[in-house]
Chain A
Amino acid sequence: MPSVAVKPKQEQAKAKKPVLKVEDLHTYFEVRRMGFFKVGDVRALDGVSFELYPGETISIVGESGCGKSTLAKTILGIHRPTKGKIYFDGQDLSTLDKDGWKKYRSNLGYIMQDPYGALPPFMTVKRILEEPMKINGITDKKEHAKRIRQVLEEVKLAPIEDFLPKFPHMLSGGQQQRLVIARAMILEPKMLIADEPVSMLDASVRVEILQLLQGLQRKHNLAIIYITHDLSTVRYFSERIFTMYGAKIIEKSATKALLHEPLHPYTKALFEATSDPDAENLKTFKDVPAGEPPSLMNPPAGCRFHPRCKYIIKGLCDREIPPEFAARSDHSAACWLYKDRA
């Protein structure tokens, strides 16, 4: 994969106000028996905090079921948080009324994994792009045409007139994902949430889409939350990487630092598991932790990774939840191994 150069913008970004601030976010789903009796909760998000600055990309990595998508959907307002606060531009989302939500959502773009599923199959490209504008109170036809032209040019779906009357199934996978991005961009958002935007695309198209996202980010100073389990794309794309495990963020780091030295045992294992097309791999044994992801209904006590961790400190890891230890200025991990480095 060719490298996509990223200027380290983190320092200059830090000086600004965060566009999104998440504080101790919990999202639980109730599990009921026979529709009435509450049996327990699935803790899909269990105390997540971070800040996102304009023009910055955060990657969130982790295995399936660790809460990455729940985090995205909670930020999008599809799930209501059980506890914790989300601030967008300093505004607490829990205080928003209906119009406030609408305005907030128009500042968000959402890009999903499956581009075909994300597009209503019975609408034409034109209609798909008009929908968000109609819903958000842009009624002027000329304005519609102008914006549609602009976003389609930005995502390089040309010639525009050819695409407008088409239905999603007439487009290729890459074109569909471009259309999804165009739809996300049509309201001129400040922030994009990309939930595995390239995992269902051909390898040949992935880079183009990521470059496209990056181009848009530069042009509009977008903040991007990039959710993936594909570590090979992360390094080219983001300033910071968060690792999630068992509904918690267990490691936060600048990309370079993380690639240089992952701290948390789980992150290490994750990098270990990344496959490289190298013939030498035949001979090496990958040290991947055994076991399964934790149950989110009854998470293990203490560190949620301890049943699978080979560095376990008995009596500590299986008892007490590790706080975030800042090993370096741009790198912190929620792991008892680093309690002395903090």
Chain B
Amino acid sequence: MKNLMRQIKNYPSAVAGLAIILLLVALAIYAVTAIPYNEAVRLWRGGDNVWLETPRNARPAWFNWFYKEKKPVTIVRRTTDESAQKTELDLGGGVFIKDTILEFDFNYDDFPTELAIFFTASFQAARPNMNLVWVTPDGREIPLTELQVRANESYRVSQDSRLERRLGAKPEIGLFADPNNPGKPLKGTYQLRAEGMVFEEGSTVDASLVVYGQLHGLAGTDHRRRDLTVALLWGAPVALSFGMIAAVGSSLTTMMLAAAAVWFGGWVDWTIRRINEIVMILPLLPILIMIGLFYSRSIWSILGVVIALGIFGSGILSYRSMFLQVRESGYIEAARAYGAGNGRIIFRYMIPRILPVLIPGFVIQVPSYVFLEATLSVLGLGDPVLPTWGKILSDAQSNGALMNGYFYWVLEPAALLMLAGLGFVMLGFALDRIFNPRLRGL
């Protein structure tokens, strides 16, 4: 093992590949610890209810580094924030005035994509009243609306057609536009005055203002406002575990079957070879599609089928030919002479002999299974629950990401998939050279 590490150091590509794999593993571990499975599934399946405060189809926030005209990111202000300026006035008879000023700086060169205000209120019978006034940096006051707040209420400013008519533009543009230069937003400090009135002792009303930006987070968001970071992070453990379990599971089982076929010979060998010949002509992808359609789309059942079908194939024949050679080794005969049983000979004497030669093979196989999972997801047969890289691609494709210019939506998962492939392949090729000295001169 020490020797192996020393040899790996001689291959820069192997070091790079190993670094990429370790990075992905670290990412996977981070994902699993930072966002536990149930949380990830909730976030991914939650849709609009979970992702109230994120913009739709927003590009990653760091795109601003490359834009000359800075695009807005999402701004959220709540009346419950410490910084909110609150005034409260007791009018007697249980009636209170609760005014809050929500203030934010807007220094971007482009308009936000949406504007919304969400309310929460607690009351016995009389619903609190809320009057909303928009104050621009140059001092104009634009009344937005006045409403009776239910326990949970949302006011989508962008969809207020009366306001739109009043402003002569879409609200998210009209409210921000510079009167002297209507194509540009006015920079400065905006205020939302939330003038609340409650009619009961102990009744409360709170509002939160969300100015949806054009950019969001590390990875942007998709059509359901979901932060892609969640899926990109969780794609790593899913892809790695799927790829590794499938590659190692099928190769090891193949090896055991080949070893058993060679060792026992006779009808065992015959049966295994005939089954292999039958399974070899079964097409993997159509079978997976059928299973996805009729049985289950769970990633684990797909994994099981992939392993079961991956066991058979040309691999079993080449392992068999290697084992035929190993079977004749003197040390196997010696082991029989000192009483080793069949199981011990197969697992302790035959398999370890060819295992090192095949390790590069597993490593190179891992990405092909990762891609298989992505392929199935793109075909719409991905796991319905788990966020994976393939699911992101699938969503992007079905929502016309490229046609609408959401290139990040396609490129991010694709880049991670390619990175995973690259890492394993670079390491695998180097290991192949280390384990097969005949290739070293190449």
Contact = CB atoms under 8 A, between A and B. Distances in A.
Interface of A: 35, 73, 76-78, 101-102, 105-106, 108, 110, 112-114, 117-122, 131-132, 135-136, 180, 183, 187
A339 B349 CA distance: 52
5 contacts: A77-B337, A101-B339, A105-B337, A105-B338, A136-B338
B341 to A, nearest CB: 8
Interface in B51-67: none
A168 to B, nearest CB: 9
Most chain A Cβ neighbours within 10 Å, of B329, B334, B340: B334
B353 interface: yes
A105 B341 CA distance: 12
Given A120-B353, A121-B353, A122-B352, A110 B340 contact: no
A117 B339 contact: no
Nearest to B328: A117
5 closest A-B pairs by CB = A117-B330, A110-B337, A132-B338, A118-B330, A105-B339
Given A117-B329, A120-B349, A120-B353, A106 B334 contact: no
Nearest to A121: B353
Contacts of B23: none
A54 B401 CA distance: 87
Interface in B326-380: 329-331, 333-341, 344, 348-349, 352-353, 356
B331 A119 contact: yes
B334 A110 contact: yes
A120 B331 contact: yes
Given A35-B270, A122-B352, A187 B338 contact: yes
A181 to B, nearest CB: 12
Given A78-B333, A120-B353, A183-B334, 13 more contacts: A35-B270, A77-B337, A105-B338, A106-B338, A110-B333, A110-B338, A121-B331, A121-B353, A131-B348, A132-B338, A135-B338, A135-B341, A180-B334
A73 B356 CA distance: 31
A111 B339 CA distance: 14
Interface string B385-426: 000000000000000000000000000000000000000000
B266 to A, nearest CB: 9
A134 to B, nearest CB: 9
Interface of B: 270, 329-331, 333-341, 344, 348-349, 352-353, 356
A131 B270 contact: no
Contacts of A112: 330, 333-334
Contacts of A73: 333
A325 to B, nearest CB: 35
Contacts of B338: 105-106, 110, 131-132, 135-136, 183, 187
A106 B333 contact: no
Nearest to B337: A110
Contacts of A187: 338
Contact of A135 (B330, B344, B352): B344
A118 B339 contact: no
Nearest to A187: B338
Most chain A Cβ neighbours within 10 Å, of B270, B333, B349, B353: B333
A88 B338 CA distance: 16
A23 to B, nearest CB: 22
Given A78-B337, A132-B338, A136-B339, A117 B344 contact: no
Contact of B339 (A106, A119, A120, A122): A106
B19 to A, nearest CB: 29
A120 B337 CA distance: 14
A186 to B, nearest CB: 9
A73 B338 CA distance: 12
A263 B89 CA distance: 132
Nearest to B341: A135
A136 B352 CA distance: 21
Nearest to B350: A120
Contacts of B349: 120
Contacts of B334: 110, 112, 118-119, 180, 183
A118 B336 contact: no
Contacts of A35: 270
Contacts of B337: 76-78, 105, 108, 110
A126 to B, nearest CB: 15
A108 B338 CA distance: 8
A125 to B, nearest CB: 13
Nearest to A36: B270
Contact of B336 (A78, A106, A122): A78
Contacts of A121: 331, 353
A114 B339 contact: no
A118 B348 CA distance: 15
A97 B13 CA distance: 56
Contacts of A76: 336-337
Nearest to B338: A132
Contacts of B336: 76-78
A84 to B, nearest CB: 20
A122 B270 contact: no
Contacts of B352: 120, 122
Contacts of B341: 135
Contacts of A105: 337-339
Contacts of B335: 120, 131
Contacts of A119: 331, 334
Given A35-B270, A120-B353, A121-B353, A135 B333 contact: no
A67 B338 CA distance: 22
Nearest to B340: A135
Contact of B340 (A77, A118, A131, A180): A131
B345 to A, nearest CB: 10
Contacts of B331: 117-121
A106 B337 CA distance: 8
A312 to B, nearest CB: 38
A35 B271 CA distance: 12
A75 to B, nearest CB: 10
A129 B83 CA distance: 76
